[in-house]
């Protein structure tokens, strides 16, 4: 994670998971805002820093070797339903995932 603590990376990943889940229609936008607000109130990061070297390719490569990959298939923890309900699944919209990654890395130096 570089200079980031594991929990800080998890915080941003949670916001990304909420964003992606909403793109797939699994939760609504008010739920995404509620999750975002909880993280802000807890003083947890919600965005990648501008000086991050991350871009979509680096992000996807890192995800491909994540501990949640099984038999070559990426599985994600996504939100579905009420706050606190989630699914651990490999059945997700890859376009929604890539769109979410693009949004989160757009301002990073690595994406420029």
Q: Which H/E stretch holds residue 61? A: helix 56-64
pLDDT (tens digit per residue) in 65-88 = 777 778 778 889 999 998 889 999
Q: Is the pTM of this model over 0.85?
A: yes
In residues, how long is the chain?
Answer: 112
Q: What is the mean pLDDT of residues 23-38?
A: 96
Least Cα distance to 109 among 54, 46, 57 occurs for: 54
Q: Which H/E stretch holds residue 8? A: helix 6-23
């Amino acid at each position: 994670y570089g200079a980031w603590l594991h929990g800080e990376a998890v915080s941003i990943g949670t916001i990304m998971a909420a964003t992606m889940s909403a793109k797939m229609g699994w939760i609504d936008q008010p739920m995404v805002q509620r999750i975002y607000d909880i993280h802000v109130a807890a003083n947890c990061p919600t965005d990648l820093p501008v000086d991050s070297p991350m871009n979509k390719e680096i992000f996807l490569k890192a995800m491909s070797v994540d501990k949640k990959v099984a038999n070559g298939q990426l599985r994600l923890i996504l939100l579905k339903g009420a706050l606190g309900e989630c699914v651990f699944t490999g059945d997700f919209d890859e376009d929604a995932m890539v769109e979410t990654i693009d949004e989160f890395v757009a301002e990073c130096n690595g994406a420029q």
